[in-house]
């Protein structure tokens, strides 16, 4: 019994070893048959990872990407150099920037070279320096035209012709009209008194806007409070009388001091207001108003 139990494992191991040996022999026979079936030219060697690892590339992994990156960088560098050359050619040559102007003016390169040489010459008799030539040209360009000189002289003569116009009492006189109103104004140096038809102007014109309108010629010329005003006005309404007196004051100031004309004229105080009431038309209730339409 002891021998049978001791020998049993060895018998079982021999059986499995025999089965494994048969399987390995069958697999070797199958591989040999497959190699015979797909047999190629001489020197055929089965593919393996070891060969590609030796060369450093496995399915495009390794040196291939580095080569493509270098190509892209080289192409970008070539494009940058090309753009740089184009930019330099645009900015560099004077023929492109100033060639048309030089050709149109008739100046040649020899003339430009001679001018450059003349710039350094000093003390040559009969030859002005380049700076003097430039100054002469600038003075000629800055010189006013003949028409401008004529206009300036004409204005000066007109200004000289305007002299102070005052009477024996030292008063300047001016007249003004507005709508149906007419005013006669006298001004003289004083303390700023204002009389309208023998009344104080604040009594004659109780509305403050009317009084402010009367004083605008003085505020525009900065002469407020330096003149006494005495005026007579007739015709029209309040606004018409105010406009007539203001025009008379402006003209009287101009006659007393001709230098104030420009300020008064620029402010529009010397211009007569031509506006008036529009006349009534036949067939209408007023100047433009129509009657109410009635069907029957």
Residue-wise pLDDT for 234-281, tens only, equals 999 999 999 999 999 999 999 999 989 989 999 999 999 999 999 999
**Domain regions of the chain by residue span:** 172-267
Q: What is the enclosing helix (H) or strand (E) of 37?
A: helix 2-37
Rg (CA), the chain: 57
Instruction: Write down the mean pLDDT value for the chain.
Output: 79
Contacts of 176 (CB under 8 A, 6+ apart): 182, 183, 185, 243, 244, 245, 246, 247, 248, 249, 250, 251, 272
Using a 10 angstrom Cβ sphere, with 0-12 exposed, 13-18 middle and 19 or more buried, the burial of residue 175 is: middle
More confident residue, 206 or 120: 206
DSSP 3-state of 243: helix
| Beta-bridge partner residues of 184 | 175, 232
The predicted structure's pLDDT at residue 230? 97
Residue 11 CA to residue 8 CA, distance in Å, equals: 5
Strand spans (E) along 163-266: 172-178, 181-189, 194-196, 199-200, 227-234
Residue 24 CA to residue 36 CA, distance in Å, equals: 18
CA angle 175, 264, 278 (to 5 degrees): 55
Pick from 282, 256, 253: nearest CA to 270:
253
Strand spans (E) along 151-236: 172-178, 181-189, 194-196, 199-200, 227-234
Residue-wise pLDDT for 67-95, tens only, equals 888 888 899 999 888 887 877 666 555 55
Under CATH, which number does the domain 172-267 receive?
3.30.230.10
pLDDT of 212 strictly over 70: yes
Q: What is the enclosing helix (H) or strand (E) of 58?
A: strand 57-58
More confident residue, 291 or 38: 291
The winner for highest mean pLDDT among 42-46, 125-129, 290-294 is: 290-294
Mean pLDDT of 22-51: 58
The predicted structure's pLDDT at residue 3? 47
């Amino acid at each position: 019994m002891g021998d049978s139990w001791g020998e049993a494992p060895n018998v079982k191991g021999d059986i499995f070893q025999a089965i494994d040996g048969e399987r390995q022999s069958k697999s070797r026979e199958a591989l040999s048959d497959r190699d015979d079936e797909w047999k190629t030219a001489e020197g055929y060697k089965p593919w393996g990872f070891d060969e590609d690892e030796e060369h450093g590339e496995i399915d495009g992994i390794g040196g291939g990407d580095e080569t493509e990156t270098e190509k892209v960088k080289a192409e970008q560098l070539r494009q940058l150099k090309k753009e740089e050359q184009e930019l330099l050619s645009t900015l560099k040559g004077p023929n492109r920037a100033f060639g048309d102007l030089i050709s149109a003016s008739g100046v040649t390169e020899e003339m430009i070279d001679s001018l450059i040489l003349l710039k350094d010459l000093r003390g040559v008799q009969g030859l002005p320096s380049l700076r003097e030539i430039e100054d002469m040209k600038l003075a000629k360009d800055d010189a006013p035209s003949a028409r401008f000189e004529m206009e300036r002289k004409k204005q000066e003569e007109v200004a000289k012709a305007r002299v102070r116009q005052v009477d024996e009492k030292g008063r300047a006189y001016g007249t003004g009209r507005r709508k149906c109103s007419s005013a006669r104004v006298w001004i003289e140096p004083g303390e700023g008194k204002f009389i309208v038809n023998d009344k104080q102007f604040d009594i004659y014109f109780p509305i403050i806007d009317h009084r402010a309108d009367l004083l605008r010629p003085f505020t525009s010329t900065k002469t407020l409070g330096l003149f006494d005003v005495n005026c007579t006005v007739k015709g029209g309404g309040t606004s018409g009388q105010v406009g007539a007196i203001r025009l008379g004051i402006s003209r009287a100031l101009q006659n007393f001091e001709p230098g104030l004309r420009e300020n008064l004229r620029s402010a529009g105080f010397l211009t007569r207001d031509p506006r008036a009431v529009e006349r009534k038309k036949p067939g209408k209730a007023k100047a433009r108003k129509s009657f109410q339409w009635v069907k029957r």
